Amino acid sequence: MIASIALPSTSTLQPFLAFLRLEILRVTRNRRFLLLTFGFPLLFYLLYTRITPSQGIVAGSPWPVHFMVSMAIFGAIGASFSVGGQRLSSERASGWTRQLRITPLPPFAYTLTKAIAALAVTLPALIVVAAAAVVLDDVRLSPATWIGLIVTLWIGSLPLAALGLVLGFVLDADTAQIGNSLIYFGLAFLGGLFEPSQAMPSVMRQVAQWMPTGRLGDLGWRAVAGQAFNPTDALVLLGYAVVLFAAVAWLYRRDASEEHG
């Protein structure tokens, strides 16, 4: 598996970078991307911080700061699913992936490009939600905390990028939209992004602890509250990333075998 996901050699680096640029441009010009990545997170941030009653201090931080982290992660889910998910399902159905396999790109370049593109478009999603919190609620953190928060959430979103690719390979073009939407919101609710964990029933709190969104949220909430880093959060996210990217590699090979079979 390691050889199949290696970075492209020097001879194929130029077409790889060209394809990566094309992929990012295609995604960012899509209205669905703008809605999932910026529209929904900003809308919910406004609803939960301006219309609903204040939650006071949550997990060591004022409610606007706590919910800023939640909606930044929500935007990261949307960005990841905009690159994989329904788009990948449609491209498989149209034969686009089959055509790319006969180009000079290395064998795994398609999904590798998707993963990198997901990380690339996740970063502005995090920054936009953070900027909204600063402008709308005068959220103030130290420069070191801001940098640590954005970098932590960005790197920690790797499992979300992998999950988006898995969904793109598993779901067909007809079921991808509803499937992605259910998992998109399901990850947010089950991970405790819309409701503080202390307000959730005990069973739901246990579920949230094992969701990638819950663990990523805990990393972010601890960062803004000045609390100690929890290595279990990172280990759970790493485990998700390894398993999901291994699944992506297997699904990619299965697709290639079916096309040649």
Rounded-to-integer distance, Cα 259 and Cα 261, Å: 5
Rounded-to-integer distance, Cα 38 and Cα 125, Å: 6
Rounded-to-integer distance, Cα 166 and Cα 176, Å: 11
Alpha helices, DSSP H only, in 157-194? 158-170, 176-190
CA distances for 256 relative to 1, 92, 99, 117, 240, angstroms: 15, 11, 11, 22, 24
Tally the residues of the chain. 261
Question: What 8-state DSSP symbol labels residue 95?
Answer: T
Span 205-224, mean pLDDT? 94
Question: What 8-state DSSP symbol labels residue 100?
Answer: H
Q: What is the pLDDT of residues 120-168, one digit of tens each?
A: 889 999 999 999 999 999 999 999 999 999 999 999 999 999 999 999 8
Span 169-194, mean pLDDT? 89
Please give the structure tokens belonging to residue 57: 């201090």
- Residue-level pLDDT at 28: 77
Please state whether 60 falls in left (phi above 0), alpha (psi between -120 and 50) or beta: left
Please give the structure tokens belonging to residue 190: 């089950």
Q: What is the pLDDT of residues 39-88, one digit of tens each?
A: 899 999 999 988 776 678 888 899 999 999 999 999 999 988 888 777 77
What distance lies between CA 221 and its chain's CA centroid? 17
Is 193 strand, coil or helix? coil
Please give the structure tokens belonging to residue 124: 């502005």
Q: Are strands 57-58 and 61-62 parallel, antiparallel or unpaired?
A: antiparallel
- Residue-level pLDDT at 27: 77
Residue 3 has pLDDT above 60, yes or no: no
Whole-model pTM? Answer: 0.88
Pick the more confident residue, 32 or 247.
247
Task: Report the candidate in 201, 200, 199, 192 with the shortest Cα–Cα distance to residue 221.
Answer: 192
- Residue-level pLDDT at 38: 87
- Percent of the chain past pLDDT 90, that is, above it, reads 46
Task: Report the candidate in 213, 43, 228, 76 with the shortest Cα–Cα distance to residue 150.
Answer: 76
Rounded-to-integer distance, Cα 184 and Cα 164, Å: 10
Across 4-8, 64-68, 83-87, 95-99, the highest mean pLDDT is recorded for 64-68
- Residue-level pLDDT at 104: 65
Rounded-to-integer distance, Cα 62 and Cα 54, Å: 9
